[in-house]
Chains A and B, each alone.
Chain A
Amino acid sequence: MSHVSSKGLYYTIFISLIILTGVTVAIARVDLGAWNTPIALAVAAVKATLVILFFMGVRNNTPLTKVVAASGFLWLIILFGITMGDYLTRSWLGIPGR
């Protein structure tokens, strides 16, 4: 769109992404037990959000573009959410395999 962000903002986002990549590498070397995957995914999600909002220009775009970008994530939540709904309830019956 017509909005142009300053170079400084792009550099800030770029440096933030580099730092977050460093965080990803650093936490991979620490055993956080059950939190290993959630924390790695959280860092990745923050990085993806920065790229989408700033580098892809969604932040200053039309409402329709925002809806389109958000719907991608909504669908991801549906995919992960319902799939986990299966995995997390498998043991409820107490019958192996059911």
Chain B
Amino acid sequence: MNHAVNEPRSYLDAPYGVASWLLTKDHKRIALLYLISITVFFLIGALFAAGIRAELMTPEGDLFTADMYNKLFTLHGVVMVFFFLIPSIPATLGNFLVPIMCGAKDLAFPKINLLSWYLYLIGATLTLGAVFMGGVDTGWTFYTPYSSMASNTNVTLAAVGVFIAGFSSILTGFNFVVTIHRMRAPGLTWFRMPLFLWAMYATSLVMILGTPVVAITLLMVGAEAALGFGIFDPRVGGDPVLFQHLFWFYSHPAVYIMILPGMGVISELVAAVSRKQIFGYSFVAYSSLAIAIIGFLVWGHHMFVSSQSIYAGLVFSIITMIVAVPSAVKTFNWTATLYRGSITWESPTYWVIGFIGLFLVGGLTGLFLGAMGLDVHLHDTYFVVAHFHYIMVGGGVMAFLGGVHFWWPKMTGRTYPETLGKISAVLVFVGFNLTFLPQFVVGYLGMPRRYHAYPEEFQILNVVSTGGASVLGIGYLLIIGYLVASMFKPRNATANPWGATGLEWDIPSPPTTFNFEIDPVVTEDAYNYAGRAQKTGDN
């Protein structure tokens, strides 16, 4: 869309300069600051992954020492979980879209929003400091007693970094909850909200209720190490398994912090690419809340082979089966939405289909691990590694990239080459499956995770996995390449390139600083594609 000269300037243009960006209170600019930051951390995390896969090309531990390998997988996990996945969708797409989808000018607390980005950067810098000072080797879970008593690496510094980044996450969640409660446009009732808002709301609840627990837990590890309190150390009356309880009380729900926003993105994309009202809107909306709440009751399924009571294990196992139900509700409803939809094969469609396939495999293999008996066989094998990568990368990252492709024209005012968008989706899907499908097999056959050497019979599958990771890497680099290149081209995006419904598509691409020139009033349900087609005579 060509803008007339006298139209208000877009948020990218007004005002301009480094200080205006670093001190901005505009949610859209903060979203872009986050997007740049998490991309940098994604690349750093990917570099560690490349080291892991290179080592596992051969059965012998010949590229890195065991100690170095321990540090590689720890840093891969810490960086990817805390500094990429957790902030990925909420802090970028969420920051950009929550106020606009609410019909608001900004988030409820713009300064706190900026503060959250700085806290994220401080946390990330401290953790990177731990990398440069020699790394950390505890695994991303920082399990005691190893982390508090035995490891002589930079655990405290890395943990402080994660601790501070946690506050950034709490502030973002808090901002979203207040915005969604208090700043919705007239007519935007709860059940007219886009499902992305429902997902962000549920995610925010998890962030607010769960993150303080992991922060306090890490603080207790520090207090024990520095002051000798008997919390986790059995020599002074502590219990190491208590750490696992406290850690997973947050970190299992954290999995939902990573996947729930992705589910929100996919709900938007599914409706848009099939030009249909989402099937079973209220079920999809409530299932987000159900996942957020039930997700808090299943943490002990990470601890079946610890000294956790077998009776507690039974309860956790049963609730784990229950938490699969709302995820299945979503998947069935997306599929039902696609069924007989007017599907357009644009690049976001490829990401949607890829997401559904990969998330399905990830979710179903989760049931294997939630079954107590089977978990004894599969625990700490590559099966677990494959499972959670299918959820977090196959689900979370596919959804994130789908969302970035869908809203990129809105965020930047620029389009990218559609063909490259489709090729990259296919590359990522194929590369991902080549990387992680073999890991289910080697894991089931007994290859443990977190070792730099393995028996020779697992080599072929590991070579396939490393080859797949290369394809995956090319896919990611391609995306970064054409998206960055698009920024150097003139703005050519129309206000609504996908013909989608939603308040964000009624404003210019890119939006103006305060989003709406006239405060919007919502008069229809979300995804009213049928109504729009009737109105315009367009299908």
Q: Which residues of A contact B (CB under 8 A)?
A: 64, 71-72, 75, 78-79, 82-83, 85-90, 92-93, 97-98
Q: How many A-B residue pairs have CB under 8 A?
A: 45
Q: Which residues of B contact A (CB under 8 A)?
A: 181, 209, 213, 241-242, 245-246, 249, 296-297, 300, 307-312, 315
Contact at A92–B181, with CB atoms within 8 Å?
Answer: no
Partner of A85, one of B181, B242, B312: B312
Partner of A86, one of B213, B246, B296, B309: B309
Interface SS majority for chain A: helix
Contact at A98–B297, with CB atoms within 8 Å?
Answer: no
Q: Which residue of B lies closest to A91 (CB)?
A: B309
Contact at B297–A82, with CB atoms within 8 Å?
Answer: yes
Complex A-B: 11 CB contacts under 8 Å: A64-B181, A71-B209, A79-B213, A79-B245, A82-B312, A85-B312, A86-B241, A86-B312, A88-B309, A89-B311, A97-B307
Interface SS majority for chain B: helix
Among A64, A97, A98: residue with most chain B CB under 10 A: A98
Contact at B312–A72, with CB atoms within 8 Å?
Answer: no
Q: Which residue of A lies closest to B209 (CB)?
A: A75
Chain B residues closer than 8 Å to A93, beta-carbon distance: 310
Q: How far is the CB of A80 from chain B (nearest CB, A)?
A: 10
Contact at A92–B309, with CB atoms within 8 Å?
Answer: yes
Chain A residues closer than 8 Å to B310, beta-carbon distance: 89, 93, 98
CA distance A5 to B234 in the complex (A): 48
Q: Which residue of A lies closest to B298 (CB)?
A: A82
Instruction: Evaluate whether A83 and B315 lie within 8 angstroms (CB atoms) in the complex, with A71-B209, A97-B307, A98-B310 already known.
Output: no
CA distance A98 to B305 in the complex (A): 9
Q: Which residue of B lies closest to A75 (CB)?
A: B209
CA distance A78 to B296 in the complex (A): 8
Chain A residues closer than 8 Å to B311, beta-carbon distance: 85, 89, 92
CA distance A88 to B315 in the complex (A): 14
Q: Which residue of B lies closest to A98 (CB)?
A: B310
Chain A residues closer than 8 Å to B312, beta-carbon distance: 82, 85-86, 89
CA distance A14 to B245 in the complex (A): 36
Chain B residues closer than 8 Å to A86, beta-carbon distance: 241, 245, 300, 308-309, 312
Q: How far is the CB of B116 from chain A (nearest CB, A)?
A: 19
CA distance A90 to B241 in the complex (A): 12
Chain B residues closer than 8 Å to A72, beta-carbon distance: 209
CA distance A89 to B245 in the complex (A): 15
Instruction: Evaluate whether A90 and B309 lie within 8 angstroms (CB atoms) in the complex, with A64-B181, A75-B209 already known.
Output: yes
Q: How far is the CB of A79 from chain B (nearest CB, A)?
A: 5
Partner of A79, one of B241, B249, B307, B308: B249
Chain A residues closer than 8 Å to B181, beta-carbon distance: 64
Contact at A83–B309, with CB atoms within 8 Å?
Answer: no
Q: How far is the CB of A37 from chain B (nearest CB, A)?
A: 12
CA distance A85 to B245 in the complex (A): 11
Give the 5 A-B CB pairs with smallest separation, nearest first. Answer: A86-B312, A89-B309, A89-B311, A90-B309, A83-B245
